[in-house]
């Protein structure tokens, strides 16, 4: 009861602070708060030499977001062989790109003291995993993480790059807001599974992008179904219609359904993602190629 009274007093004091003779109860408080927020937002500055930034995000970890980011980057590169594609691992605490892209070693510096991305499969890559020991945990506070993100964005020799895919950490915290509010972003892809517990957080992630003015290009329904390799029985382990319902609720499309398949996992863990290690007629490869096509189509529609 005492805590409730304290909350009421704080709320009332805040309203009184911003009240006026014409608005004695501060009923226009939300409008003033919105104006203050707009004044406080940083000016978005493009990454030098990068034309389009695409975020691959999820509200929850463990939904296969990094696997989608890697295969999307590779699929875009296959679709657009004359254009340059890059991949940034923004997950400071749990970088996955070095393993999935079969890259290791310390990046060198250019004459301008910029970090040179490591390259494999024709994709320029940068990750905190290249800069710290593979087994060393990154135990940093928020400000150090923000500083690292800024360096990975601004102090890497990305140029020239037509598309930069950023593999975001899960959640809607400081890292996500820092990236979303500091650089122009062409669009975001939200990865989820059909499971309700994942959909709850995917909804939050999509709404976060909406609040900061970033278009959500669509949802990726990952681990959508499973086919038994022995008997061929097809089942929806995590549910059948969750992603579709979420898409209708928040007004975006499900771009692709990607099945739960051990070959996707084995290819990623081995450093040979399925888009480049399997034949083009493989249904799993075709799913990622379809995702790339739809992402490009959505970006084109936004620009026009």
Residue 70: strand, helix, or coil: helix
What's the pLDDT score for residue 284? Answer: 95
Residues contacting residue 153 through CB under 8 Å, at least 6 positions apart: 47, 88, 179, 182, 183
What's the pLDDT score for residue 180? Answer: 87
Going 281 to 283 to 284 to 286, the CA torsion angle's sign is positive
Using DSSP bridges, classify how beta strands 226-227 and 234-235 pair: parallel, antiparallel or unpaired. antiparallel
* Angle at 74 (CA atoms; ends 116, 181), nearest 5 degrees: 65
Series of mean pLDDT values for 10-residue runs along the chain (304 residues): 44 46 52 55 86 92 92 97 96 90 94 95 95 75 83 94 94 82 94 88 90 94 83 76 87 94 95 95 96 97 89
What's the pLDDT score for residue 108? Answer: 95
Residues contacting residue 113 through CB under 8 Å, at least 6 positions apart: 155
- Chain-centre distance for alpha carbon 150: 16
What's the pLDDT score for residue 33? Answer: 53
Helix (H) or strand (E) holding 255: strand 254-258
pTM: 0.83
Residue 159: strand, helix, or coil: coil
| Contact (CB, 8 A) for 152 and 88 | yes
- Phi, psi (rounded to 5 degrees) for 156: -115, 140
What's the pLDDT score for residue 66? Answer: 96
Terminal C-alpha separation, the chain: 55
Neighbouring C-beta atoms of residue 103, cutoff 10 Å: 22
Residue 180: strand, helix, or coil: helix
How many whole angstroms separate alpha carbon 157 and alpha carbon 33? 39
Instruction: Output b/e per residue, 164-200; b: 16+ Cβ within 10 A.
Output: bbbbbbbbbeebbebbbbbbebbbbbbbbbbbeebbe
DSSP string, 127-178: EGGGTS-TT------HHHHHHHHHHHHHSB---SEEEEEEEPPSSSSHHHHH
Q: Any idea how long the chain is?
A: 304
Neighbouring C-beta atoms of residue 139, cutoff 10 Å: 7
What's the pLDDT score for residue 41? Answer: 60
């Amino acid at each position: 009861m005492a805590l409730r009274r304290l909350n009421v007093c704080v709320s009332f004091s805040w309203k009184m602070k911003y009240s006026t003779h014409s608005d004695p109860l501060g009923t226009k408080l939300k409008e003033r708060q919105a104006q203050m927020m707009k004044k406080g937002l940083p000016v978005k500055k493009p990454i030098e030499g990068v034309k389009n930034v695409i975020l691959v995000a999820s509200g929850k970890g463990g939904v296969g977001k990094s696997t989608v980011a890697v295969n999307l980057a590779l699929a875009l590169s296959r679709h657009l062989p004359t254009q340059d594609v890059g991949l940034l691992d923004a997950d400071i605490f749990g970088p996955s790109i070095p393993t999935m892209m079969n890259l290791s070693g310390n990046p060198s510096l250019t004459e301008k003291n910029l970090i040179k991305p490591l390259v494999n499969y024709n994709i320029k890559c940068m990750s905190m995993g290249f800069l710290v020991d593979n087994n060393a945990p990154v135990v940093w506070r928020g400000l150090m993480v923000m500083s690292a993100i800024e360096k990975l964005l601004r102090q890497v020799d990305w140029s020239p790059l037509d598309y930069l895919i950023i593999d975001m950490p899960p959640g809607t915290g400081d890292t996500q807001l820092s990236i979303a509010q500091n650089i122009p972003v062409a669009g975001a892809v939200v990865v989820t599974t059909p499971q309700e517990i994942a959909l709850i957080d995917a909804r939050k992630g999509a709404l976060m992008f909406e609040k900061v003015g970033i278009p959500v290009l669509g949802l990726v329904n990952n681990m959508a179904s499973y086919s038994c390799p022995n008997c061929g029985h097809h089942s929806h382990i995590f549910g059948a219609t969750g992603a579709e319902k979420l898409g209708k609720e928040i007004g975006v499309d499900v771009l692709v359904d990607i099945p739960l398949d051990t070959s996707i996992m084995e290819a990623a863990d081995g450093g040979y993602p399925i888009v480049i290690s399997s034949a083009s007629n493989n249904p799993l490869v075709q799913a990622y190629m379809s995702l790339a096509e739809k992402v490009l189509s959505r970006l084109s529609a936004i620009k026009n």
